[in-house]
Amino acid sequence: MMLLETPNDNVESLKFSIKNMDDINATFFNAEETTSADPVIGYTGFLNLEGADNPGIVYKVTNLLARHNLSIQKMKTSDEIAPHGGATLFHMQAVVHAFEPMAREFDISKVQSDLEAVGDSLNCNISLEPMQENDDFEVRFGS
């Protein structure tokens, strides 16, 4: 699906051009102008990860979140040398959202279970806790 915007004088010409393209099957509808509404958030959670640094750790966690239709509003990462042994410890904190309408298959316990499995495979502790509307993101991030 694609939304195109063009001046009224060009609508018919654009339709003709698109319909005559090879391997394209197009149906056209006129969209009415509407005022945009703020998206409605169906779930907000705070993700916390601590553990051994691994290549691809951010990708693996964010990919998992995306597969569960969670968006990242804010994320902070840092690393430090472990006090004993000199290994690099990785920290990641994020505020994540699922927007309404939420997918029928959205299941926060499944998300948490999948995060735990990724954490186990990466030697990290990962938690995802629900946040309330009045929770202060900055306090959670230690800012």
**pTM exceeds cut of 0.75:** no
pLDDT in tens, 19-36: 888 877 777 777 776 666
List, in order, residues 6 or more apart from 9 with CB less than 8 Å away.
Answer: none
- Would you say residue 37 has pLDDT above 60? yes
Under the phi-then-psi rule, with left for phi > 0, alpha for psi from -120 to 50, and beta for the rest, what region is 59?
alpha
pLDDT at 139: 59
